[in-house]
Chains A and B, each alone.
Chain A
Amino acid sequence: MRYEAPQTLNQAVNVFSEFNGLKRILAGGTDILVQLRTDVIQPELLMNIKDIEELGKIELFDNFWKIGAGVSAANITRNKEFSKEWPGITEGVGLIGSTQIQNRATLVGNLSNASPAADGVPALVAANAMVEIVGRNGNRKLEILSLISGPGKLNMKSDEFISHILIPRQNKNSSDCYIRFIPRTEMDIAVVGCGVNLSVENNNISAVKVVLGAVGPKVIFSEEASNSLLGASLNADSLSKLQEICERDAKPIDDKRGTIDFRRKVAGVLAKRAVEKAYKRIMEDS
């Protein structure tokens, strides 16, 4: 196995795009090292991107946040400005692995692993976040839903990798939330997850995006559930409608972590609870 640790993004693009065999990027290493150890993959090139300065930054621009592929989960959760603006994305990031894991693990890694159960992803989708992809032919931007094509699969060419996540600035009277269900209290993997981004005007919901995790081959943006809340006030009726639609929109499988029935039910419950929590956040802020 070849190991490279380029110092600049340009060098990284060159090394990665010119290599034709099985290759992987090492950022936090919390997935890749385990996969190496258990013989899940045997890449011929391992490229460490942690030395690249511009990938290690969280930057705030006029219209968006830019988070580098080398930024650890802990550096996101302890960024006060970001976590105040996007508490839901921060919640998701703060649930990855454990405290120790979060000191190494990256949000881009969580995304690139393309696990349907990734805790970092649903709130990103709900926030309309995008990724910046670098490759032989320069940069391009892609929505996260279009990026992920299935379990462990990304819509990227073999010369490309993700350099940044771009997250828009949060709107006024808006907040987000991510909650997940696990059978324990921590150190576990989501059986169901739900990310919600919500805007409120005159006590009615003016914009909303409900995204379900771990109940399909990739995250599910439930357009119907989101639309059902649009213009509505938050009450038992609108919530139970939301719950019902999410139960229907969830397309889970039966496995060791939960049954189809269970996951559908819990998807509905989590959607309801996540919307309530995001709504409460908006009310508390205003």
Chain B
Amino acid sequence: MALDNENKNFFDVVGTRPIRPDGIEKVTGQARFGADAYLPGMLHGIILRSPHAHAEILNIDTTSLDNDPSVKAIVTRKDFSPDLKGEDWNILENVMADQKALYDGHAIAAVACSSLLEARDAVKKIRVKYSLLPHVTDVEEAMKEGAPIIREGVARSSVPKDMHPNIVGYHESGHGNVEKGFIEADLIIEETFKTEAAHQGYIEPHACLVNMMPDGKGEVWCCTQGHFNVAKVCAKLLGTDASQIRVTASEIGGGFGGKTAVFIEPVALALSKKANRPVKMVMSRSEVFRATGPTSSTSMLVKIGMKKDGKITAASGTFKLQGGAFPGSPMAESAMCAFAPYDLEHVKNVGWDVMCNRPKQAAYRAPGSPMAAFAVESVIDDLCKKLKLDPIETRLKNAVKEGSKASFGPRFERIGLVETLESAKSHPHYLAPLKDGYGRGISCGFWFNFGGETSVSLALAEDGTASLSVGTPDIGGSRASMCQIVSEELSIPYEKVRATIADTATLGYNEISHGSRVTFATGLATIKAARDMKRKLCARAASNWGLEEDAVYWEKGYVKPAGPNAGNHDPLSIIDIAKTMGRTGGPIVGHFEASPEGAGVSFATHIVDAKVDRETGFTSVDRYTVIQDAGKAIHPAYVEGQFQGGAAQGIGWALNEEYIYDEKGVLQNAGFLDYRIPVASDLPKIDTVIVEVPNPGHPYGVRGVGETSICPPLAAIANAVSNSVGIRMKELPMSPPRILKAIEENNG
């Protein structure tokens, strides 16, 4: 039987929109998030954070807490493993500072007390002696001669020797000869662009409840996108075994990449270990902004040459990304995604990884790609305008297709960029005349998507219903999609399947919920686990009938004899087989473990109409349309939600969100009042079109959708705004002061 690799084209349940299985808990407030956990005897932990952007820590004096009965434990860096290297050391250095405070908000020490109020008071009594060091927070400033060096000797071997010590990573890719290509161009535009750091802005702050027992067994409850990773990191930072730390993921109030990193769990474990009591920690919003990872801020140089007919002859870009006081900014991703939508004979992508006195950047939906698209798609828009070309036709003329050589190397398999552009061209939004004073912006965007380690288990209950355990926290509706997949494969109703996010002791290692991988990889694993179960059901029925396994077959929820030779048996339903499984061979469980490849890249095209109030610089986004290739939408409502969410976050990033540091390197807007994510009334109704060009790497054709949707908005909105005011906006956010200044300067 070919149950294993069958690709499905016709579906009963997949593609429908059943209600979400986690809905009742969420709307009645019973869902348990990170901070909704309590244990008897639990303490409250609070972290003391550096008020300085860059300082040597001379002394941490906790003697004032010595006789304080409310203080149950104090930890500093010396309470963590001294033996770490590489990225493990970087994570620890970010979790708890060693000799230097590297950014405003860097953790210095932590205390645990019986009550939160006591902990808040106690932490204020710790005296830290700092020796201030010069600091730098701007990516360009950090590379200037004389800029303070964040850490010597971090640069990877790929970084050219003569570069500034704060440049710690270097990427180069591409093909052809760009110099030759630029000679062939009729028009070349070269521009620099800047973007500010944007925070993922998840509504739920980081929170955990942990218990470290004297025998070394640790229990962690936390809000994370990847609890297996939490176990791994905590074990390393505390110098213990990964299997001894059991992590359960709570419900999650948003992550967007920012909850792939580990911040407070190792600290809580270290406090718990010392106090011999459970410890709960909940970050304040200010801590979330100061000490968890926003995305990189950037400085980018892009050059594109075009023929009069719109054909791009060559493209090059240098993408400088600041990733905080640690190596690891997604500059290679910026460089590789920048020109990915276009089929180019000559292309060169360069990325620089730059260190600054800012928090360690963390992933934020398609890390690196949205900023690169902003630079590239702005230049393409200007080329189209100067050459009087239609922005969609021009993009179609250059669009990559199946077999095109990607700007970052490999040849594309089947992809759907052209389909999104064709759909945009005929969309009522694009055909509608532009209202007076408005500008329209178009942009394409690209993201790789990812597979990664995945392990699932599907158990059959005695009544023929199914219980699916997955190891990827549900950050975008994956439980609904997984239940649909099981329902589809086993031909049992959607409501008869329950999906659970299992803890780290229950399944094999699962990579974090990131890289838009869950519906692809966990979905693929669920399909394979269900097919494994079907095979076992067939074997059980065959054995019950005294037949060989290949003498039966599966059809829509029933095992049937394969032909007249197999004898005259009534088909056995799942319920029939489940009822007797205890005495016919034992429990029936399907499972699957692998690191699936073939995630299938994804493209999108966005259309935006925006209007700028020329007297105040205020931008209103009036109409927004997202068109994206989903491969196959398992639950279209969730896919549309991902599309809309990407656009909404993009609108915030493009218009108002930014990290604002003062001259001392202290973050000025560590709260939702002055870090301005869009409110509901800022957003237009966001229209969506799901394009389905199946991914050949998935049995149903699924492509990840969570990240591509945030790749085009920065550029699409910038193009709309620039067209409304008649000035090219080259710096994000396009906040009212920045737009008004550009208008004033343009007026001379």
Residues of A within 8 A of B (CB): 38-39, 181, 183-189, 191, 255-259, 261-262, 265-266, 269
Whether A183 and B678, one on each chain, are in contact in the complex, defined by CB atoms closer than 8 angstroms, is no
Q: Say which residue of B286, B669, B737 sits within 8 Å of A262 (CB atoms).
A: B737
A185 touches B737 (CB 8 A): no
Which residues of B sit under 8 angstroms from A185, Cβ to Cβ? 620, 679, 681-682
Interface positions, chain B 670-691, Cβ under 8 Å from A, are: 673-674, 676, 678-679, 681-682
Listed by A's residue number, 12 A-B pairs whose Cβ atoms lie within 8 Å are A183-B676, A184-B676, A185-B679, A185-B681, A185-B682, A188-B679, A189-B674, A191-B736, A259-B741, A261-B740, A265-B740, A269-B615
CB of B673 within 8 A of CB of A259, answer no
Min distance, Cβ A142 to any Cβ of chain B, angstroms: 30
| B678 pairs with A184, CB closer than 8 A | yes
**Is the C-beta of B655 less than 8 angstroms from some C-beta in chain A?**
yes
Number of CB contacts from chain A to chain B under 8 A: 59
Complex formed: what's the CA distance from A184 to B655 in Å? 9
Taking a contact as CB atoms under 8 Å apart, the answer to whether A184 and B679 are in contact is yes
Q: Which of B286, B615, B617, B676 contacts A188 (CB 8 A)?
A: B676
In whole angstroms, how far apart are the Cα atoms of A183 and B736 in the complex? 7
Q: Are B736 and A257 in touch, CB under 8 angstroms?
A: no
B668–A256 touching, CB < 8 Å: yes
Q: Which residues of A contact B682 (CB under 8 A)?
A: 184-185
Q: Contact between B674 and A259 (Cβ–Cβ < 8 Å)?
A: no
* Interface status of B544 (Cβ within 8 A of chain A): no
Interface size on B, as a range, is 20 to 34
Interface assignment of B660: CB less than 8 Å from any CB of chain A = yes
Q: Given contacts A256-B674, A258-B737, is CB(A181)–CB(B679) below 8 Å?
A: no
Give 1 or 0 for each of B618-629: 1 = CB within 8 Å of chain A CB: 101000000000
B residues adjacent to A (C-beta < 8 A): 120, 286, 615-618, 620, 655-656, 660, 668-669, 673-674, 676, 678-679, 681-682, 735-737, 740-741, 744
Most chain A beta carbons < 10 A, residue from B615, B618, B678 = B615
Q: Which residues of B have CB within 8 Å of A183?
A: 618, 655-656, 676, 735-736
In the complex the two chains form, is B656's CB within 8 Å of A184's CB? yes
Least CB distance from B200 to A in Å reads 19
Contact A269 B616 (CB under 8 A): yes
With a cutoff of 8 Å between Cβ atoms, the chain B residues found around residue A188 in the complex are 673, 676, 679
Given A184-B676, A185-B679, A262-B617, A256 contacting B660 (CB threshold 8 A):
yes
Instruction: Flag if B679 contacts A186 (CB, 8 Å).
Output: yes
A256 cross-chain contacts in B, Cβ below 8 A:
660, 668-669, 674
Q: With A184-B656, A189-B673 in contact, do A262 and B740 touch (Cβ < 8 Å)?
A: yes
A266-B679 contact in complex given A184-B656, A256-B669, A259-B737, C-beta closer than 8 Å: no
In the complex, which of the residues B286, B616, B674 contacts A181, with contact meaning CB atoms closer than 8 Å? B616
A256 to B: closest C-beta gap in Å: 4
Contacts of B679 in A (CB 8 A): 184-188
Flag if B741 contacts A262 (CB, 8 Å). yes
A259 closest partner in B (C-beta) = B737
Residues from chain B with Cβ under 8 Å of A184 in the complex: 656, 676, 678-679, 681-682
Given contacts A187-B679, A189-B673, contact A261 B120 (CB under 8 A): no
Cα separation A259 to B739 with both chains bound (whole Å): 12
Q: In the docked arrangement, what's the CA distance between A270 and B212, Å? A: 59
- Which residues of B have CB within 8 Å of A262? 617, 736-737, 740-741
Point out the residues of chain B lying under 8 angstroms from A39, CB to CB: 120
Q: When the two chains form their complex, are residues A181 and B618 in contact, meaning their CB atoms are under 8 A apart?
A: yes
Q: Which residues of A contact B660 (CB under 8 A)?
A: 256
Q: How far is the CA of A255 from the CA of B735 in the complex (A)?
A: 13
Q: Which of A183, A191, A265 is the most central at the interface, judged by chain B CB atoms within 10 Å of its CB?
A: A183
